[in-house]
Structure 1
Amino acid sequence: MKALYIAATGMKAQELNVEVISNNVANMRTTGYKRQRADFQDLLYENQRRMGTETSDTGTLVPNGIQIGSGVRTVATARIMTQGTASRTGKELDVAVRGEGFFQITTPDGTTAYTRDGSFARAQDGRLVTNDGYAVMPGITIPENSRDITINKLGVVQVVNAAGQVQNLGQLQLASFINKEGLEAIGDNLFLETAASGQPQVNTPGAEGYGTLLQGHLEASNVDAVTELSDLIAAQRAYEMNSKIVKAADEMYATSNNMR
């Protein structure tokens, strides 16, 4: 009897599904977080009677056949890269991306990472950095005693310097990917390039195919509480049904073992 093992694969799959949902819910307030979805595929089939085989000398064919499946497996936890809502913060170094593109970040080991989290800060040497102190690329340094920092929608960073003059400090750039869902999440709101994502294409905000920037705002998570709750209920019910099949299969085993 294979029902016991088939149902066990279903329970395992729904357990992982609940883990994905719980991670989405935990990150509902994470800046720039992109929700995930568990994707499943059926396992191999045992052909007890193959469709299309001949059943007589006259060429009569089996129309349907008999196939017994082996259960289910998780094949991906796809990341949904839809735009999150831009929430106003009023902080002059908070920047949200409206549209396509990722900020480029240099990690301490020199690796280039990518993020939608534009909650930037000013380091002790004036460099523009993330909340973890990682440098934002291209490097922009805000001079001491400067004020009125502005970042326009095209990423141009300007300040009023100590002499009261407007000073241009540079321009932020965005990176885009052919398959952004193929990026590898490494935590700290950062992604890494992979063979699946393709190489980054870097351009200025507002260029064709790239989003624009919005100063004083941050992109919220794209997690929807109602969607996650309904998915959780469906996963619980699927797990419950598979567990009942395990119980039923166990009772059938017991009946067979107790036959006199």
Structure 2
Amino acid sequence: MNRTMITATNTLSQLQKQMDIVSNNMANIDTTGYKRREASFTDLLFQQFNNQHNANAEGNRLTPNGIRQGVGAKLAQSKIVMSQGSIKNTDRALDAAFTKEGQYFRVLEQSENGSAIRYTRDGAFYLTPLSDTETMLVTGNGYPVLDENNNPITINGQVNDYEITTNGRLIAKMENGGTSEFNLGVVQVNKPQFLEQKGGNLLGLPENMAELNVPVNEILTELNGPMRNQVSIQQRALEQSNVDMSREMTDLINLQRAYQFQSRSVSIADQMMGLVNGIR
């Protein structure tokens, strides 16, 4: 296999990863609170041939001296785009949408491997019964919604109505005239590129946090106490995804052209090798 084939096949494998990212964005265009991902590329290692030892002889040259032979490109980063999605009114009391970028609800994901705190912008909440008089606030997937102390939100008694204030306070108005109030657990994500997609429209901290040597408070900030004034929530509404279908289709077309170009390079290299091998 010659250098042209190596360069093309290396790039093809990375273009396939970008195609997966674009496809995932398009598949989640209707997912509440979903944030699109964007791929960026960088060069793989290349060889430098300094065939001109006299730099003065290249006085009018605009590019660097020498000849560089690369081996393709690689996917450098798949970053989360945190731009605000459009707000859709639902007129449902337990629907809540963030109106500021980077703010997420805290939920408790429970799996066969244990429990872990996750983060989501999907504010479509529901109630699941724990007993005849007690209910728990959960997400659409059944994960408990946490309060500012990372405890599941449970409500005792019969409720007539719910109010979610702008700063993220849940007020349950009881049948007996009383109220039960809870501060929803909210975080501000400062460095979203450290978060990983955990499935089910959830984000979480990576498993190798100790190896990264980055404090958790640099990645996200818990908006508790006086910082709750920074929370911005709209009740009876949901945030749509920030995926632009026309943009994703344009990226997909450009990606298809790049894929065809690299595939054509492999075909041409194969034809050239066939011609060389056919010389008598």
> TM over 0.5: same fold?
yes
The alignment partner of 1:107 has SS state of strand
Contact kept in structure 2, 1:87 and 1:220, CA below 8 Å: yes
Contact kept in structure 2, 1:30 and 1:220, CA below 8 Å: yes
| Aligned mates of 1:122, 1:130 — CA distance in 2 | 8
Alignment of 1:224-239 (within 5 A): 224-239=244-259
Which position in structure 2 is the counterpart of 1:102? Answer: 104
Question: Measured at CA, do residues 128 and 105 of structure 1 come closer, stay the same or move farther in structure 2, by a change above 3 Å?
Answer: same
Unaligned runs of at least 5 residues, structure 2? none
| Aligned mates of 2:186, 2:274 — CA distance in 1 | 63
Question: Measured at CA, do residues 227 and 75 of structure 1 come closer, stay the same or move farther in structure 2, by a change above 3 Å?
Answer: same
Which position in structure 1 is the counterpart of 2:166? Answer: 153
| Aligned mates of 1:218, 1:204 — CA distance in 2 | 23
Contact kept in structure 2, 1:103 and 1:173, CA below 8 Å: yes
User: RMSD across aligned C-alpha pairs, in angstroms?
Assistant: 2.2
Unaligned runs of at least 5 residues, structure 1? none
Which position in structure 1 is the counterpart of 2:75? Answer: 74
Which position in structure 1 is the counterpart of 2:129? Answer: 124
| Aligned mates of 1:239, 1:15 — CA distance in 2 | 8
Give runs of ≥4 in structure 1 deviating > 4 Å: 59-63
Q: CA deviation at 1:230?
A: 0.4
| Aligned mates of 2:7, 2:229 — CA distance in 1 | 46
Which position in structure 1 is the counterpart of 2:183? Answer: 171
Is 2:145 the partner of 1:136?
A: yes
Is 2:254 the partner of 1:242?
A: no
Which position in structure 2 is the counterpart of 1:89? Answer: 90
Q: CA deviation at 1:141?
A: 2.4
Q: CA deviation at 1:210?
A: 3.5
Contact kept in structure 1, 2:223 and 2:231, CA below 8 Å: no
Alignment of 1:166-245 (within 5 A): 166-194=178-206, 195=209, 198-199=216-217, 200-204=220-224, 207=227, 210-245=230-265
| Aligned mates of 1:11, 1:111 — CA distance in 2 | 36
C-alpha distance after superposition, 1:45-86 (max 9, x if no partner): 112226xx734xxx8566611111111111222111211111
Is 2:262 the partner of 1:253?
A: no
Contact kept in structure 1, 2:174 and 2:180, CA below 8 Å: no
| Aligned mates of 1:240, 1:234 — CA distance in 2 | 10
Question: Measured at CA, do residues 141 and 208 of structure 1 come closer, stay the same or move farther in structure 2, by a change above 3 Å?
Answer: closer
Question: Measured at CA, do residues 148 and 211 of structure 1 come closer, stay the same or move farther in structure 2, by a change above 3 Å?
Answer: same
The alignment partner of 1:93 has SS state of coil
Q: TM-score, normalised by structure 2?
A: 0.83
| Aligned mates of 2:86, 2:226 — CA distance in 1 | 19
Contact kept in structure 2, 1:153 and 1:205, CA below 8 Å: no
| Aligned mates of 1:124, 1:75 — CA distance in 2 | 46
| Aligned mates of 2:233, 2:48 — CA distance in 1 | 57
Contact kept in structure 2, 1:101 and 1:210, CA below 8 Å: no
Q: How many pairs are equivalent?
A: 254
Q: TM-score, normalised by structure 1?
A: 0.89
The alignment partner of 1:160 has SS state of strand
Contact kept in structure 2, 1:153 and 1:206, CA below 8 Å: no
Contact kept in structure 2, 1:11 and 1:239, CA below 8 Å: yes
Report the structure, 1 or 2, having the larger helix content: 2
| Aligned mates of 1:46, 1:181 — CA distance in 2 | 31
